[in-house]
Amino acid sequence: MEKILPTRPKAFLIDMDGTLYFKGEPCPGAIETVNYLRQEKYQLRFLTNTTAKTPKMLHAQMQALGFDIHEDEIFNATYACLQYLRSQPGTSCHFMVDDAVKAFFKEIPVDDDAPDFVVVGDYGEGFDFRTLNHAFRLLMNGAELIALQKNLYWFSAEGMFLDCGAFVTLLEAAASKTATVMGKPSETFFKIALESLQLSPSEAVVVGDDVTSDIVGAENTKLRSILVKTGKFKPNQLENPVAKPTWILDSIAELPNMF
Protein backbone atom coordinates (compact mmCIF):
# COMPACT_ATOMS: atom_id res chain seq x y z
CA MET A 1 0.00 0.00 0.00
CA GLU A 2 1.17 3.50 -0.80
CA LYS A 3 1.76 5.93 1.99
CA ILE A 4 -1.45 7.93 1.84
CA LEU A 5 -1.67 10.09 4.97
CA PRO A 6 -1.03 13.62 3.63
CA THR A 7 -0.36 15.04 7.07
CA ARG A 8 0.96 13.02 9.96
CA PRO A 9 -1.56 13.04 12.83
CA LYS A 10 -0.51 13.46 16.43
CA ALA A 11 -2.93 10.85 17.77
CA PHE A 12 -5.11 7.90 16.89
CA LEU A 13 -8.50 7.22 18.49
CA ILE A 14 -8.80 3.46 18.05
CA ASP A 15 -11.92 1.37 18.47
CA MET A 16 -11.35 -1.81 20.46
CA ASP A 17 -13.87 -4.60 19.78
CA GLY A 18 -13.77 -5.51 16.10
CA THR A 19 -10.67 -3.44 15.39
CA LEU A 20 -8.10 -4.63 17.92
CA TYR A 21 -9.80 -7.89 18.91
CA PHE A 22 -12.79 -9.92 17.76
CA LYS A 23 -14.66 -12.75 19.47
CA GLY A 24 -12.16 -12.74 22.31
CA GLU A 25 -8.99 -12.96 20.20
CA PRO A 26 -6.59 -10.25 18.96
CA CYS A 27 -7.06 -9.29 15.31
CA PRO A 28 -4.03 -10.32 13.23
CA GLY A 29 -1.34 -7.66 13.42
CA ALA A 30 -3.22 -5.53 15.97
CA ILE A 31 -0.77 -6.00 18.85
CA GLU A 32 2.15 -5.21 16.56
CA THR A 33 0.40 -2.10 15.24
CA VAL A 34 -0.17 -0.71 18.74
CA ASN A 35 3.49 -1.39 19.57
CA TYR A 36 4.55 0.39 16.37
CA LEU A 37 2.42 3.45 17.15
CA ARG A 38 3.99 3.66 20.61
CA GLN A 39 7.46 3.36 19.13
CA GLU A 40 6.64 6.22 16.76
CA LYS A 41 5.47 8.37 19.71
CA TYR A 42 1.84 8.76 18.64
CA GLN A 43 -0.64 9.62 21.36
CA LEU A 44 -3.30 6.92 21.70
CA ARG A 45 -6.82 6.64 22.99
CA PHE A 46 -8.80 3.43 22.89
CA LEU A 47 -12.53 3.94 22.48
CA THR A 48 -15.27 1.41 23.08
CA ASN A 49 -19.01 1.24 23.51
CA THR A 50 -18.58 -1.75 25.80
CA THR A 51 -20.37 -0.81 29.00
CA ALA A 52 -20.48 -4.13 30.83
CA LYS A 53 -16.98 -3.36 32.09
CA THR A 54 -15.26 -0.41 33.73
CA PRO A 55 -12.05 1.05 32.24
CA LYS A 56 -10.09 -0.89 34.89
CA MET A 57 -11.70 -4.17 33.83
CA LEU A 58 -11.13 -3.39 30.14
CA HIS A 59 -7.49 -2.63 30.86
CA ALA A 60 -7.03 -6.03 32.51
CA GLN A 61 -8.74 -7.70 29.54
CA MET A 62 -6.52 -5.98 26.98
CA GLN A 63 -3.36 -6.76 28.93
CA ALA A 64 -4.39 -10.42 29.08
CA LEU A 65 -4.73 -10.39 25.28
CA GLY A 66 -1.18 -9.04 24.99
CA PHE A 67 -1.81 -5.35 24.25
CA ASP A 68 0.43 -2.59 25.64
CA ILE A 69 -2.42 -0.30 26.70
CA HIS A 70 -2.63 1.97 29.73
CA GLU A 71 -5.80 2.28 31.79
CA ASP A 72 -5.97 6.07 31.42
CA GLU A 73 -5.97 5.67 27.63
CA ILE A 74 -9.26 3.75 27.64
CA PHE A 75 -12.47 5.71 27.12
CA ASN A 76 -15.80 3.95 27.25
CA ALA A 77 -19.37 5.14 27.45
CA THR A 78 -19.50 4.37 31.17
CA TYR A 79 -16.73 6.90 31.82
CA ALA A 80 -18.39 9.48 29.57
CA CYS A 81 -21.69 9.05 31.42
CA LEU A 82 -20.04 9.54 34.81
CA GLN A 83 -18.49 12.79 33.56
CA TYR A 84 -21.91 13.91 32.28
CA LEU A 85 -23.66 13.14 35.57
CA ARG A 86 -20.92 14.89 37.54
CA SER A 87 -21.72 18.02 35.55
CA GLN A 88 -25.27 17.89 36.93
CA PRO A 89 -24.84 17.57 40.69
CA GLY A 90 -27.81 16.45 42.73
CA THR A 91 -29.52 14.49 39.98
CA SER A 92 -30.60 10.94 40.73
CA CYS A 93 -30.64 7.85 38.53
CA HIS A 94 -32.23 4.47 38.06
CA PHE A 95 -29.48 2.26 36.62
CA MET A 96 -30.04 -0.63 34.23
CA VAL A 97 -26.44 -1.83 34.21
CA ASP A 98 -24.36 -4.72 35.51
CA ASP A 99 -23.61 -4.60 39.26
CA ALA A 100 -19.88 -4.04 38.71
CA VAL A 101 -20.63 -1.06 36.49
CA LYS A 102 -23.23 0.25 38.93
CA ALA A 103 -20.48 0.40 41.55
CA PHE A 104 -18.54 2.67 39.17
CA PHE A 105 -21.37 5.22 39.64
CA LYS A 106 -21.31 4.97 43.44
CA GLU A 107 -21.11 8.76 43.88
CA ILE A 108 -24.36 9.29 41.93
CA PRO A 109 -27.60 9.18 44.00
CA VAL A 110 -29.83 6.21 43.18
CA ASP A 111 -33.61 6.57 43.05
CA ASP A 112 -35.57 3.61 41.72
CA ASP A 113 -38.98 5.26 42.21
CA ALA A 114 -38.75 8.83 40.86
CA PRO A 115 -35.31 9.43 39.33
CA ASP A 116 -34.20 12.29 37.12
CA PHE A 117 -32.63 9.82 34.68
CA VAL A 118 -33.00 6.21 33.62
CA VAL A 119 -29.52 5.05 32.60
CA VAL A 120 -29.42 2.04 30.28
CA GLY A 121 -26.25 0.09 29.55
CA ASP A 122 -25.20 -3.52 29.11
CA TYR A 123 -27.61 -5.36 31.40
CA GLY A 124 -27.54 -8.83 29.84
CA GLU A 125 -30.25 -11.07 31.21
CA GLY A 126 -31.34 -8.22 33.45
CA PHE A 127 -33.43 -7.04 30.52
CA ASP A 128 -36.82 -8.69 30.95
CA PHE A 129 -40.47 -7.59 30.94
CA ARG A 130 -40.40 -6.54 34.60
CA THR A 131 -37.28 -4.38 34.40
CA LEU A 132 -38.17 -2.86 31.03
CA ASN A 133 -41.73 -2.08 32.09
CA HIS A 134 -40.47 -0.45 35.29
CA ALA A 135 -38.11 1.73 33.25
CA PHE A 136 -40.97 2.58 30.89
CA ARG A 137 -43.13 3.75 33.80
CA LEU A 138 -40.32 5.90 35.20
CA LEU A 139 -39.92 7.56 31.80
CA MET A 140 -43.66 8.16 31.52
CA ASN A 141 -43.55 9.78 34.96
CA GLY A 142 -40.97 12.33 33.83
CA ALA A 143 -37.52 10.74 33.97
CA GLU A 144 -35.19 11.36 31.03
CA LEU A 145 -33.45 8.53 29.20
CA ILE A 146 -29.67 8.12 29.00
CA ALA A 147 -28.19 5.42 26.76
CA LEU A 148 -24.62 4.47 27.48
CA GLN A 149 -24.57 3.42 23.84
CA LYS A 150 -27.00 2.37 21.09
CA ASN A 151 -25.31 -0.58 19.41
CA LEU A 152 -27.99 -3.06 18.39
CA TYR A 153 -25.87 -6.21 18.65
CA TRP A 154 -22.42 -7.52 19.44
CA PHE A 155 -20.34 -10.63 18.75
CA SER A 156 -18.78 -13.17 21.08
CA ALA A 157 -17.23 -16.58 20.52
CA GLU A 158 -20.74 -17.98 21.05
CA GLY A 159 -22.32 -15.88 18.30
CA MET A 160 -24.40 -12.69 18.04
CA PHE A 161 -26.17 -11.12 21.02
CA LEU A 162 -28.63 -8.25 21.32
CA ASP A 163 -26.93 -5.13 22.67
CA CYS A 164 -28.45 -2.46 24.88
CA GLY A 165 -29.31 -0.24 21.91
CA ALA A 166 -32.11 -2.62 21.01
CA PHE A 167 -33.72 -2.06 24.41
CA VAL A 168 -33.05 1.69 24.35
CA THR A 169 -34.87 1.88 21.01
CA LEU A 170 -37.80 -0.01 22.52
CA LEU A 171 -38.02 2.42 25.45
CA GLU A 172 -37.70 5.44 23.16
CA ALA A 173 -40.61 4.24 21.05
CA ALA A 174 -42.83 3.25 23.97
CA ALA A 175 -42.27 6.40 26.03
CA SER A 176 -41.88 8.85 23.11
CA LYS A 177 -38.47 9.86 24.46
CA THR A 178 -35.17 10.52 22.72
CA ALA A 179 -32.21 9.11 24.60
CA THR A 180 -29.11 11.16 25.31
CA VAL A 181 -26.33 8.90 24.01
CA MET A 182 -23.06 8.83 25.93
CA GLY A 183 -20.95 6.56 23.71
CA LYS A 184 -20.15 6.48 20.01
CA PRO A 185 -21.29 8.10 17.75
CA SER A 186 -21.99 10.92 20.23
CA GLU A 187 -19.93 14.01 19.42
CA THR A 188 -19.48 14.57 23.15
CA PHE A 189 -17.76 11.20 23.52
CA PHE A 190 -15.15 11.98 20.89
CA LYS A 191 -14.64 15.50 22.26
CA ILE A 192 -13.88 14.10 25.73
CA ALA A 193 -11.16 11.92 24.18
CA LEU A 194 -9.73 14.88 22.25
CA GLU A 195 -9.78 17.10 25.34
CA SER A 196 -7.78 14.50 27.25
CA LEU A 197 -5.13 14.80 24.53
CA GLN A 198 -5.42 18.61 24.29
CA LEU A 199 -5.75 18.25 20.52
CA SER A 200 -8.08 19.60 17.85
CA PRO A 201 -10.02 17.29 15.49
CA SER A 202 -7.56 18.01 12.67
CA GLU A 203 -4.74 16.48 14.71
CA ALA A 204 -6.24 13.02 15.28
CA VAL A 205 -7.59 10.11 13.24
CA VAL A 206 -10.32 7.64 14.24
CA VAL A 207 -9.83 3.94 13.42
CA GLY A 208 -12.80 1.57 13.62
CA ASP A 209 -14.85 -1.23 12.06
CA ASP A 210 -18.36 0.16 12.58
CA VAL A 211 -19.68 2.76 10.14
CA THR A 212 -22.65 3.72 12.32
CA SER A 213 -20.62 4.41 15.47
CA ASP A 214 -16.96 4.97 14.58
CA ILE A 215 -17.25 6.67 11.19
CA VAL A 216 -20.45 8.62 11.93
CA GLY A 217 -18.91 9.82 15.20
CA ALA A 218 -15.74 10.90 13.42
CA GLU A 219 -17.71 12.77 10.78
CA ASN A 220 -19.86 14.50 13.42
CA THR A 221 -16.71 15.67 15.19
CA LYS A 222 -14.88 16.63 11.97
CA LEU A 223 -12.23 13.97 12.49
CA ARG A 224 -10.53 12.04 9.72
CA SER A 225 -11.31 8.34 9.85
CA ILE A 226 -10.11 4.90 8.79
CA LEU A 227 -12.62 2.09 8.32
CA VAL A 228 -11.16 -1.40 8.75
CA LYS A 229 -12.79 -4.44 7.15
CA THR A 230 -12.82 -6.54 10.30
CA GLY A 231 -15.29 -7.09 13.13
CA LYS A 232 -18.74 -5.73 12.28
CA PHE A 233 -17.77 -4.55 8.80
CA LYS A 234 -20.00 -5.70 5.95
CA PRO A 235 -19.31 -4.84 2.28
CA ASN A 236 -22.86 -3.54 1.75
CA GLN A 237 -22.14 -0.76 4.26
CA LEU A 238 -20.15 0.94 1.51
CA GLU A 239 -23.03 1.00 -0.99
CA ASN A 240 -25.05 3.79 0.63
CA PRO A 241 -23.01 4.70 3.69
CA VAL A 242 -24.47 6.89 6.42
CA ALA A 243 -20.98 8.40 6.66
CA LYS A 244 -17.90 8.08 4.48
CA PRO A 245 -14.52 7.15 5.95
CA THR A 246 -11.49 9.09 4.80
CA TRP A 247 -9.63 5.84 4.12
CA ILE A 248 -10.46 2.11 4.06
CA LEU A 249 -8.05 -0.66 5.11
CA ASP A 250 -8.41 -4.43 5.16
CA SER A 251 -7.33 -4.42 8.81
CA ILE A 252 -5.48 -2.35 11.38
CA ALA A 253 -2.35 -4.34 10.49
CA GLU A 254 -2.07 -2.10 7.39
CA LEU A 255 -2.02 1.12 9.40
CA PRO A 256 1.80 1.38 9.73
CA ASN A 257 2.06 1.29 5.93
CA MET A 258 0.11 4.55 5.61
CA PHE A 259 2.95 6.81 6.75
Q: Which of 181, 199, 230 is the last residue of a domain?
A: 181
Residue 5 placed within a domain = no
Q: What is the CATH number of the domain that holds 212?
A: 3.40.50.1000
Residues 108 and 143 in one domain: yes
- Residue 257 burial (C-beta neighbours within 10 Å; 0-12, 13-18, 19+): exposed
Residues 219 and 239 in one domain: yes
Q: Residues near 7 by Cβ (< 8 Å), separated by ≥ 6?
A: none
What is the pTM (predicted TM-score) of this model?
Answer: 0.82
Residue 70 placed within a domain = no
CB 119 within 8 A of CB 143: no
Tell me how many degrees the CA angle 217-81-52 measures, rounded to the nearest 5. 90
Number of domains observed in the structure of the chain: 2
Q: Encode the chain (259 residues) as per-residue pLDDT tens digits.
A: 445 656 789 999 999 999 999 989 999 999 999 999 999 999 999 999 888 888 899 999 999 999 999 999 999 999 889 989 998 999 999 999 998 889 999 999 999 999 999 999 999 899 999 999 999 999 999 999 999 998 888 887 788 899 999 999 999 999 999 999 999 999 989 998 999 999 999 999 999 999 999 999 999 999 999 999 999 898 888 887 889 999 999 999 999 988 7
Q: If you compute the radius of gyration of the chain from its CA atoms, what whole number of angstroms results? A: 18
Residue 30 placed within a domain = yes
Residue 225 placed within a domain = yes
Residue 152 placed within a domain = yes
Residues 197 and 157 in one domain: no
Find residue 44's DSSP bridge partners.
12
φ/ψ of residue 180, rounded to 5: -85, 120
Give the range of the structural domain holding residue 209, as residue numbers without chain letter.
11-49+184-258
